Chain A
């Protein structure tokens, strides 16, 4: 009898966790809507002189790049939008294949030849400047990116958002699992910036690797760090609520100040300053500030949300 009563009453109490609601409505859904719009503008361009539209779209991607679960994982959509890092140089060879005679349809092609990073090669790398078919391929990749972005947004709007709001389903057994997913995307985003966006070009002191910086051809390397941190801050503040938001903001501010200090230097935007000892120290300092944010969140926000650290896609080697 008690059990039956509980079941009848249950729906009346099934309000979503307000932090999950806010993350969806104020952060995640607007972020993916912006990505759809930006890729639409890129796809609508009538010329292949689309550096500005590409920049806007690339930034829109970076802002949601940490949300690598659910709709962006389905059908490998996120990978089709963004394949990086590329330690074996798969992108230029995939593009060469796409420009060749027996090119596969873009949707079937290697992910290394699709998305924002492949488009960056076509738009900014001199090796592709004179290639026949370049303009058509840029247009094709823009359409493809827009289709992926739309598919992600549709799934968030029509299905996945509800899974996170109304937990007790096969994906999220309870609100804590939904919160954990958000927390994990936050920490994964910080780790990715520390280890990849900054760690790859830093290399070692004896052997800095400036050419491994993300989107260095377009000079977006540092801007991507900035865009990503802004987006992560927004999510962290929502999850942290009143008790933590001031502390969270203060820590992100310190990192932002360090970005400012690098941005105006020669070799700052593409992070090529890692090649000089003086420049390297500044980038290491930025990396350190971000690592400190990560520690702070792990010590405060994680326990506050009652979540475990969990596994992420970077666990492999």
Chain B
């Protein structure tokens, strides 16, 4: 399927010579920021792992809340890495393991009766592997008696070729910590009791040991996946080498990531669709009710890649030559336009975040007929769409000359729809 589809990439006509900015400095800074973001994601995932182990070893309300807090903190740097998707094949090929969404959570654990059973699209939508030590997949008997990272990654994830069978990554862990959000359009996130991890007679909803085993395996996997990706952006890493190999292709990767994340992914798939479907399940972090932050930090990632400066989780700043400098050298007016639009987007996303944090939950914003909620979300959508137009102008201004066939995962790659 993928082979026969035409894939196209933005190709900047080489050589791109700009008076005061060296393109390779811009790309080096882009790679440095990626490395810092993935390292920060790793650090916060390691903290999550510690918190999860504490919950399993010593189950309590306090330890459950601590693990949730660690998960929320881990999302802050990770969401800012998403702008490295789409343009960098190495990130795209890997991303489904850590941030796949939406998921049919009944694959993993018990769900409410209103969830339903297997669907036309997914036979395993209600498998509940925590309660089942064996099942049959495409005629093959699967042994699920021990839940290991290898089992999750190799057999359960995307079982039967269905993308909604998400067995690994942030959102699987989110479900294991919060549980289903059964509040519909009302306030409140998922409300899993800490006793779902209790030992012996205190255990609720059965199989607490296997639930703990799953949570631990999924968190281990997240840590090892992030460790791998951080290394790809370090000195001598493949992702860094790929970006630095060719100035034009490197700048193209930057712009492709910014535009695709802004438009097709966040504005389209994640934000607008939710409003139009009025479905509280169409929330990026629907268990934790953290969707306002998901969007906000995605937007921030686009902005900090353009401006070439990222503030790390310890407050230090990674900065250097930026795409903004490059654009300003070619067309100062266009640079000003881009900066203004990025700021506008952040203000709109900030409005959503502030309202959500003050008690107007993202679920409520999605409700049919909730005009204020729709206006808030559509404000973010429109700002993302508007900034994408300026990104396209930058592509033109930096001297895009045509297209290259046989690109990697990239702009306008129709197969991306299946990822």
Identify the A interface with B (CB < 8 A): 76, 79-80, 83, 87-90, 94, 104, 108-112, 173, 180, 187-188, 191-192, 194-196, 199, 202-204, 207, 211-212, 284, 287-288, 291, 294-295, 298-299, 302-303, 308-317
Contact = CB atoms under 8 A, between A and B. Distances in A.
Contact of A204 (B1, B120, B268, B391): B1
Contact of B415 (A180, A195, A294, A309): A195
Contacts of B119: 88-89
From A88, A111, A211, residue with most partner B Cβ within 10 Å = A88
Interface string B349-379: 0000000000000000000110000000000
Given A108-B369, A311-B264, A302 B403 contact: yes
Interface in B256-293: 259-260, 262-266, 268-270, 272, 275-279, 281
**Majority DSSP secondary structure for residues of A touching B:** helix
From B119, B120, B263, B278, residue with most partner A Cβ within 10 Å = B278
Given A110-B276, A315-B411, A309 B8 contact: yes
Interface of B: 1, 4-6, 8-10, 86, 102, 119-121, 138, 160-161, 163-164, 259-260, 262-266, 268-270, 272, 275-279, 281, 368-369, 388, 391-393, 395-396, 400, 402-403, 405, 411-419
7 contacts: A87-B163, A88-B121, A195-B417, A196-B417, A298-B6, A298-B8, A312-B263
A303 to B, nearest CB: 5
B4 A303 contact: no
Contact of B412 (A80, A83, A191): A191
Contacts of B120: 89, 211
Contact of A309 (B10, B391, B414): B10
Contact of A298 (B265, B266, B392, B405): B405
A90 B388 CA distance: 29
B265 A294 contact: no
B164 A309 contact: no
A100 B67 CA distance: 41
A104 B102 CA distance: 26
B412 A309 contact: yes
Closest 8 CB pairs of A and B: A315-B264, A316-B265, A316-B264, A195-B414, A315-B260, A316-B269, A317-B419, A191-B414
B412 A194 contact: no
B117 to A, nearest CB: 12
A310 B392 contact: yes
From A87, A207, A291, A314, residue with most partner B Cβ within 10 Å = A314
A313 B276 contact: no
Nearest to B119: A89
A311 B272 contact: no
B277 A315 contact: no
Contacts of B1: 199, 202, 204
B392 A311 contact: yes
A80 B272 CA distance: 12
